[in-house]
Chains A and B, each alone.
Chain A
């Protein structure tokens, strides 16, 4: 139904403590496009995102069944290499969390842990990623000052640059603009649209207008189940399911 699925989720169930958070999730996330996961608070959309890079592993009493295939590799297979899986997915969280080090070291952190040591190589990665995220002109004279000194919008772009520096295939955004001012939000949204040429982007958002502005596909999640999935225009303008209609009109939130 969708072209070139990159992530294929098969009968995924997530329990935390005794709560059935995600129920029988089946979905194909299309390659090289922006897919937005929408739904009311507490519906499980962030949990769904966290299953993709296995950050859910860090929560106690989680039980995950089913499979998540990236290309054809099941990331929940018993011998799956977690660090390798996470390297393939850049995560942009709700608020920016720069690492407690300089701007340069933030971007170089990922490449360094994955074995790049040569200064010239790191220099060019840092420059390239900062240029890609539009930060270069703003920070090129203070690469070695603390990342915490940047404005919150700049920090978020730095976090994106840091994620891109490990050459992921997928970018996961968890309400990545919710802490930002309108101008910074606009910059991040522009970046997502530009980056989808090279990356597969999955976003969680509760802003319908944002989902409409930037996404190609929309997944509507309600009470831990996928209610509807399809191209943006179809889901938002002509939803097939009654629940989606109500959500889009603002009757349920």
Chain B
């Protein structure tokens, strides 16, 4: 192949890559731009400080504080519960089990499958458990459904982070006479920044999901005081308001979407800052 042809090929593929990057990143601006343009005029102090008052859904007084708090409770509760389960899982699979053991391989395959299951299926599954237990739609039910949804995300992310740790680090601790649990603690120190990434991904997924909480968390105009009370969520609040023919209510739907986006943005920034602080001792 002559040099002209090779150079032409280089130019063509570079152009394809650049245009793909431009299209994707501009669509992000388009999404955020739409939400800001349509939502910002309706974003008021009332929106974030009040729960729906009488007639809120036909354009009167109130805000979506119930949904903001409900979403934070749900995603926060599920992330904490998810971490409590997934950190031990990934430690067991990667540190306790020998590298390449059949159990670890099949467990990882199972998590890959769970990762691909749509959230409505988790919602339906959690719902059937709730019926069996006699629990009604509540914060508790929602947290269980979202936890099921985010555990595969947490396990897979932690798994990828742990596999980047050289196994010699584990061997270094073991050869000093450490037990496997002590070696695991050394590795956890090494992957702290990765844990924040996992939390970020799980929380972001949890706070934005509708299908898993549709049947399980219910909806309420009040802020839940107890875990057995139904809880509103921002995605559902957006859904209800967007379905209204009243322009005022539709605008509030975009304002709610803006609030959700700001919350996620805040989580991204906080987790990046925390992760950056934790790299001091990383080898």
Q: Is the Cβ of A55 less than 8 Å from the Cβ of B174?
A: yes
Q: Does B60 contact A (CB under 8 A)?
A: no
Q: Is the Cβ of A100 less than 8 Å from the Cβ of B283?
A: yes
Q: Is the Cβ of A146 less than 8 Å from the Cβ of B280?
A: yes
Q: How far is the CB of A121 from chain B (nearest CB, A)?
A: 17
CB neighbors of A among B243-283 (8 A) = 280-283
Neighbour of B99 across the interface among A58, A84, A90, A166, CB < 8 A: A58
Q: Does B157 contact A (CB under 8 A)?
A: no
Known contacts A60-B99, A91-B171, A113-B177; 20 further A-B pairs (Cβ under 8 A): A53-B175, A55-B175, A57-B98, A58-B98, A58-B99, A59-B98, A60-B98, A83-B177, A93-B172, A97-B166, A97-B171, A100-B169, A100-B186, A100-B189, A110-B176, A113-B182, A114-B177, A146-B281, A147-B281, A148-B283
Q: Is the Cβ of B175 less than 8 Å from the Cβ of A148?
A: no
A58 and B172 in contact, given A100-B283, A102-B281 (Cβ under 8 angstroms)? no
Q: Does B178 contact A (CB under 8 A)?
A: yes
Q: How far is the CA of A98 from the CA of B176 in the complex (A)?
A: 12
Interface string of A67-111 (1 = CB under 8 A from B): 000000000000000011011011101110111111000000110
Interface string of A97-135 (1 = CB under 8 A from B): 111111000000110011000000000000000000000
Q: Does B2 contact A (CB under 8 A)?
A: no
Q: Is the Cβ of A162 less than 8 Å from the Cβ of B176?
A: yes
CB-nearest residue of chain A to B187:
A100
Chain A residues touching B, range? 20 to 34
A101 and B99 in contact, given A58-B174, A110-B177 (Cβ under 8 angstroms)? no
Q: Does B170 contact A (CB under 8 A)?
A: yes
Q: Does A159 contact B (CB under 8 A)?
A: yes
Q: Chain B residues with Cβ under 8 A from A224's Cβ?
A: none
Residues of B within 8 A of A (CB): 98-101, 166-179, 182, 186, 189-190, 280-283
Q: Chain A residues with Cβ under 8 A from B178's Cβ?
A: 83, 113
Q: Chain A residues with Cβ under 8 A from B100's Cβ?
A: 59-61
Q: Is the Cβ of A58 less than 8 Å from the Cβ of B177?
A: no
A89 and B175 in contact, given A95-B168, A97-B168, A99-B186 (Cβ under 8 angstroms)? yes
Q: How far is the CA of A173 from the CA of B186 in the complex (A)?
A: 22
A101 and B177 in contact, given A55-B171, A60-B98 (Cβ under 8 angstroms)? no
Q: Does A163 contact B (CB under 8 A)?
A: yes
Q: Chain B residues with Cβ under 8 A from A94's Cβ?
A: 168
Neighbour of A97 across the interface among B99, B101, B169, B282, CB < 8 A: B169
Q: How far is the CA of A146 from the CA of B99 in the complex (A)?
A: 29
Neighbour of A100 across the interface among B171, B174, B176, B190, CB < 8 A: B190
Q: Chain B residues with Cβ under 8 A from A109's Cβ?
A: 173, 176, 186
Q: Chain A residues with Cβ under 8 A from B186's Cβ?
A: 99-100, 109
Q: Chain A residues with Cβ under 8 A from B189's Cβ?
A: 99-101
Q: Is the Cβ of A166 less than 8 Å from the Cβ of B177?
A: yes
Q: How far is the CB of B235 from chain A (nearest CB, A)?
A: 39
Q: Is the Cβ of A113 less than 8 Å from the Cβ of B176?
A: yes
